[in-house]
Structure 1
Amino acid sequence: MKKVNLFIPVLWLGAVIYLTDVYGNIPSQIGTHYGAHGMPDQYGAKSSLWSLPLIFMLIWTIITIMVRYLPKIERNLKGKNERNTATLGTEMITTLFMIEVGVWLLFVTNVYYLSHGKSYLPPYLLTAVLIVLLVYIIGLFLKRLIRTRNLKRD
């Protein structure tokens, strides 16, 4: 889990460095929201590109702190089994990791297209990210369902 916690800031730092490098090539008005066909349906200033890395680093920091300290707080307050909470924390970090990587991929792709004068985001890319997340979440659900059924048998 420590390697994952180091990977996300490095990933976003790389995105910020890339954005800094190509920022001069990006038009002053950019697409800020994209429709199903990859074409923008809302526009804003190019300075809005800086907000996404900052927001996702803030989210990552908050979730990482929560996952680290909530099991200990819960154990001290309720006397619960810290292992169960730690398992949920690991699932939460893994889910957040997948979301972070997906959003990072969309962000970097968007910056790439914008730096080449195109306001476009490939729709297949968003679809692929969403499918991977959906399959993972269904897998988590099935894993919990199987675990619950096995506990009822015992």
Structure 2
Amino acid sequence: MTLVKQPKINLPKSGLETFLSWIGLLTIIATTMYLILTYGSLPAEVPAHYNGAGEVDRWGSKAELFLLPLIAFFVIWLPITWLEKYPHTFNYLNLREDNVEFQYRNARLMMNVMKTECAILFSWLTFQDIRIAEGGADGLGPWFLPVFIVVLFGSMGIFIVRMLRA
């Protein structure tokens, strides 16, 4: 098989892609609603940053809590949802006539999975910020960062292996 230029193909979203997009969006919405509902009872200072061990190393204004849901939606969820519509613009190592559709679907699903993972992460961080501010927790815990890195790069690795095998 010969390598091909990246043709523009209209591929409808799979059920899994639609489901994951909704999960990410609804997670961001639910977190924002929870933040709005609890905002009045929060102390003036809340966790604003954590060190590598998951301990709070900076406190800030409770208004900063809105940054994570805003970033999750406007910087991650919305732009990646838009990018998913243009898989022909991504870079591929192994694009041939017989695997173009698979490669596009695989790349688009990878973007979708990572988008959803980030939406869940940012929502969980917001929820933890609220819990810590209310005295319900001390920090994120030492396992937070390693688990997040393994999940994010592990899922990316799975999709890269699938791409190389196609």
**1:12 offset after TM fit, Å?**
1.0
Aligned with residue 42 of structure 1, among 28, 35, 58: 58
**In 2: Cα distance, 1:18 partner to 1:53 partner:** 11
Query: Aligned pair 1:16/2:35, yes or no?
Result: no
Paired amino acid for 2:41: N
Structure 1: any 5+ residue segments left out of the alignment?
A: 75-79, 148-154
**1:50 offset after TM fit, Å?**
0.7
* Matched positions, count: 141
* Aligned counterparts, 1:1-154, within 5 A: 1-58=17-74, 59-68=76-85, 70-71=86-87, 83=101, 84-116=103-135, 120-147=139-166
**In 2: Cα distance, 1:20 partner to 1:71 partner:** 36
Identity, % of aligned pairs? 21
**1:122 offset after TM fit, Å?**
2.2
Are the structure 2 counterparts of residues 65 and 33 from structure 1 closer, same or farther at C-alpha, using a change threshold of 3 Å? Answer: same
Are the structure 2 counterparts of residues 45 and 91 from structure 1 closer, same or farther at C-alpha, using a change threshold of 3 Å? Answer: same
**1:119 offset after TM fit, Å?**
5.8
- Please tell me whether the aligned partners of residues 22 and 115 of structure 1 are also in contact (alpha carbons under 8 angstroms): no
- Please tell me whether the aligned partners of residues 4 and 97 of structure 1 are also in contact (alpha carbons under 8 angstroms): yes
Higher-helix-fraction structure:
1
**1:4 offset after TM fit, Å?**
1.8
**1:86 offset after TM fit, Å?**
3.5
**1:72 offset after TM fit, Å?**
6.7
TM-score between both structures, scaled by the size of structure 2: 0.71
TM-score between both structures, scaled by the size of structure 1: 0.76
RCO (CA 8 Å, sep 6+): is it higher in 1 or 2?
2
